[in-house]
């Protein structure tokens, strides 16, 4: 007895078209709603902060008075830290992605190691940023406890000196070898120099002797009162480097590098995978080595996707506050960084501090800071987009 098969009734073409149209409309509504909410937030922030957006705000320093508050130290601190982060994260992330995708191992042990590393990179992308802050504090600031955080065991690019001020107010310097050298003893015939390198020989006198010198009209250059205490000072170059790194710009940049490195690696891997394998095979068939194929074919074709990942990574780095709070912990700072070891603060910390104040005027200052932060973010993104378009090559 033969089985009878019942064919399902044909679906209505009109019903499928209505469902398709309804789905498109829902997508448009969702996207429009998100853009509208974002636009309202941006407009409201700009309206509240436009009163403080002027040259004094961009060049000023934090203050207890909202009308005098500025964002210059935090703005330059953010720029310094993000540049340090990009200089380390992008080359290291792209190089790691090339190694994992273009130079896959063939032996069983190395293949398992490759899979283990790939799994951990994927998992690290979801680790909270505060964990990276604690890791950066241990690894970069304290160097795993080697030495002390207050006194580095290695320095380069710094000159220590003892400073004393004579009775005319001239600052006199005495160069010393290192920070642990004994402080200069105030005795006669010690050779010093001023800021311009002019030599001075100090003359230590008492109050009575100083009065007599003034009565005689004698020169008081290099005359120092007995009991004056020299102060140990230092002059650091822009390329100053120390170990441990301390709570400086470089430590903050390396910590943010840890935060965004998984993003850069994963985005770069996806971009390399998107390059057609036929290009690799053709280049290899023509006699090219693996590195020549990567350098001349694969990497140039993957640059647009890699730069897109770099944009996303830097966008996250600029807005991170938790790792910077662990590393720097400074909100009130009145100077911009002068070198990679210098103290710093960042705009997210400064904005959070202003937003937490009870006075309403500080909330308007925080809104102005948010606008400046968005401008810096868009500037970084525009630079990355320009690089992406500049090096984009058609397949």
268, pLDDT greater than 80: yes
Band (334; pLDDT cuts 50, 70, 90): confident
How much is the pLDDT for 150?
A: 63
How much is the pLDDT for 107?
A: 86
Band (27; pLDDT cuts 50, 70, 90): very high
Ramachandran angles phi, psi of 222, nearest 5°? 85, 0
10, pLDDT greater than 70: no
Band (89; pLDDT cuts 50, 70, 90): very high
8, pLDDT greater than 70: no
Average pLDDT on 263-292 reads 91
pLDDT one-digit tens code per residue, 180-207: 888 877 776 777 877 777 887 888 888 8
How much is the pLDDT for 216?
A: 84
How much is the pLDDT for 213?
A: 84
pLDDT one-digit tens code per residue, 34-79: 999 999 999 999 999 998 899 899 999 998 898 899 999 999 999 9
Band (261; pLDDT cuts 50, 70, 90): very high
1, pLDDT greater than 60: no
Average pLDDT on 249-269 reads 94
Ranges 9-18, 102-111, 115-124, 292-301: which has the least confidence? 9-18
Average pLDDT on 104-112 reads 87
Beta-carbon contacts of residue 221 (< 8 Å; ≥ 6 apart): 166, 168, 170, 200
Rama region for 332: left / alpha / beta (φ>0; ψ in -120 to 50; rest): beta
Distances (CA, A) of 207 to 20, 118, 188, 220, 226: 97, 75, 16, 13, 8
How much is the pLDDT for 393?
A: 65
Which domains does the chain possess? 55-147+246-391 (1.10.3720.10), 154-238 (no CATH)
Beta-carbon contacts of residue 350 (< 8 Å; ≥ 6 apart): 62, 71, 74, 331, 369
How much is the pLDDT for 319?
A: 87
115, pLDDT greater than 60: yes
Band (332; pLDDT cuts 50, 70, 90): confident
Pairing between β-strand 171-176 and β-strand 154-165 as defined by DSSP bridges:
antiparallel
C-alpha gyration radius of the chain: 31
9, pLDDT greater than 60: no
394, pLDDT greater than 80: no
Average pLDDT on 320-337 reads 86
249, pLDDT greater than 80: yes
Ranges 34-48, 71-85, 170-184, 296-310: which has the least confidence? 170-184
How much is the pLDDT for 91?
A: 95
331, pLDDT greater than 80: no
Beta-carbon contacts of residue 327 (< 8 Å; ≥ 6 apart): 133, 136, 137, 140, 141, 247, 251, 252, 255
148, pLDDT greater than 70: no
Pairing between β-strand 223-225 and β-strand 203-205 as defined by DSSP bridges:
parallel
Band (380; pLDDT cuts 50, 70, 90): confident
How much is the pLDDT for 395?
A: 60
Beta-carbon contacts of residue 230 (< 8 Å; ≥ 6 apart): 162, 163, 164, 174, 183, 184, 186
Ranges 125-139, 241-255, 329-343: which has the least confidence? 329-343
Beta-carbon contacts of residue 189 (< 8 Å; ≥ 6 apart): 201, 202
116, pLDDT greater than 70: yes
Average pLDDT on 103-124 reads 89
Band (101; pLDDT cuts 50, 70, 90): very high
Average pLDDT on 360-368 reads 93
Mean per-residue pLDDT over the chain, rounded: 87
């Amino acid at each position: 007895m033969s089985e009878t098969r019942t064919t399902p009734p044909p679906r209505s073409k009109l019903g499928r078209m209505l469902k398709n149209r309804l789905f498109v409309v829902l997508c448009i509504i969702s996207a429009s709603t998100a853009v509208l909410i974002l636009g309202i937030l941006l407009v409201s922030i700009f309206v509240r902060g436009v009163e403080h957006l002027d040259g004094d705000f961009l060049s000023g320093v934090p203050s207890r008075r909202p009308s005098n508050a500025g964002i210059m130290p935090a703005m330059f601190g953010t720029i310094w830290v993000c540049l340090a982060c990009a200089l380390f994260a992008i080359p290291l992330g792209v190089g790691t992605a090339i190694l994992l995708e273009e130079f896959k191992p063939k032996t069983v042990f190395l293949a398992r190691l490759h899979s283990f590393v790939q799994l951990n990179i994927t998992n690290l992308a979801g680790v909270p940023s505060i964990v990276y802050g604690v890791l950066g504090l241990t690894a970069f600031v304290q160097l795993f406890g080697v030495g002390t955080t207050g006194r580095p065991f290695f320095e380069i690019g710094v000159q220590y000196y003892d400073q004393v001020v004579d009775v005319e107010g001239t600052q006199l310097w005495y160069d010393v070898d290192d920070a642990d050298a004994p402080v200069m003893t105030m005795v006669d015939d010690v050779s010093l120099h001023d800021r311009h390198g002019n030599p001075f020989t100090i003359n230590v006198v008492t109050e009575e002797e100083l009065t007599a010198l003034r009565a005689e009209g004698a020169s008081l250059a290099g005359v120092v009162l007995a009991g004056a205490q020299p102060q140990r000072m230092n002059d650091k170059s822009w390329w100053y480097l120390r170990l441990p790194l301390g709570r400086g710009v470089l430590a903050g940049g390396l910590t943010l590098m840890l935060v965004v490195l998984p993003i850069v690696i994963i985005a770069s891997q996806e971009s390399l995978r998107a390059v057609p394998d036929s290009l690799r095979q053709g280049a290899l068939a023509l006699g090219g080595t693996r590195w020549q194929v990567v350098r001349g074919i694969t990497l140039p074709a993957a640059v647009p996707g890699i730069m897109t990942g770099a944009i996303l990574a830097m966008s996250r780095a600029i807005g991170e506050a938790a790792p910077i709070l662990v590393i720097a912990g400074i909100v009130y700072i009145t100077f911009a960084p002068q070198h990679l070891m210098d103290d710093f603060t960042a705009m997210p910390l400064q904005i959070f501090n202003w937003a937490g104040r009870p006075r309403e005027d500080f909330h308007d200052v925080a809104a102005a800071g948010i606008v400046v932060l968005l401008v810096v973010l868009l500037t970084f993104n525009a630079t990355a987009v320009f690089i992406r378009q500049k090096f984009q090559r058609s397949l």
